[in-house]
Amino acid sequence: MEIIFFLLPASLVLALIAGGAYIWSIKSGQMDDLETPAMRILFDDEEVPREDNRKQP
């Protein structure tokens, strides 16, 4: 059962990585608006490459 002395810290490292990703997503503003991105998946425009390379928001 001594393996737990290794497994515990290992899983904590994983938890920390997940936490870090969460913090990054909040700070980069991904959580500011939770409704509108859900609607954007319904748009079915074809992405036509433009000469000036402007992308759809």
Partner 1 sequence: MDDEVFRERFVRGENGLSRISFYLSGMHCAACVWIVEKLPEIVSGVESASVNFALSRVEVLFDPEKVKISKIASVLDSIGYSPAPYSDASADEAATKSERTLLLRMGVAAVCASNIMILSVALYQGHFTGIEERFAGLQRWVSFLLAIPVVLYSAVPFYRAALGGLRAGRLHIDLPISIGIAAGFAASLFNTLRGGSEVYFDSVASLVFLLLVGRWFQQRGVRRAVAQSRRASSILPTRAWVKRGEEVCEVYASSLQTQDLVVVPTGERVPADGTLVQSPALLDLSILSGESRPVSIPVGGKVFAGTKNVGATIYAAVEHVEGESRIGKILKLVEDGAGNRAAVTALTDRIGGYFVAAVLVLAAFTFTFWLRVGFTEALNNTLALLVITCPCALGLSAPIALSVSLSRAAKKGILISGADVVERLAGADAVYLDKTGTVTSGGAKVVKSWFFPIKTLISEGDLARGILALELTVEHPIAVALRERFGGYGAELEPQNVFSRIEHIPGRGVRGHTGNGELWEICSWRTAVASIAPNEIQTQASESCLAEHLTPVALSINGELAAVFGVGDQLREGVRDLVAALQGSGREVFLLSGDANPIVSYAAEQIGIKAENSFGECSPEEKVNVITQSPHRKAAMVGDGVNDAAALSAAYVGIGVRGGAETCLKVSDVFVAVDRFRRLEETFFGADRTMKIIKANLTLSLIYNLLGGGAAMLGYVNPLFAAVLMPISSLTVVLSSTLGRSY
Q: Which residues bind partner 1 (CB under 8 A)?
A: 1, 4-5, 8, 11-12, 15, 18-19, 22-23, 26-27, 31-36, 39-40, 42-43, 54, 56-57
Alpha-carbon gap, residue 9 to 22, rounded angstroms? 20
Which is closer to partner 1, CB of 36 or CB of 49? 36
Closest distance of CB 32 from partner 1, Å: 6
* First-to-final CA distance of the chain: 53
29, two tokens? 């503003």
Shortest CB 55 distance to partner 1, Å: 9
Q: How far is the C-alpha of 4 from the C-alpha of 7, rounded, in Å?
A: 5
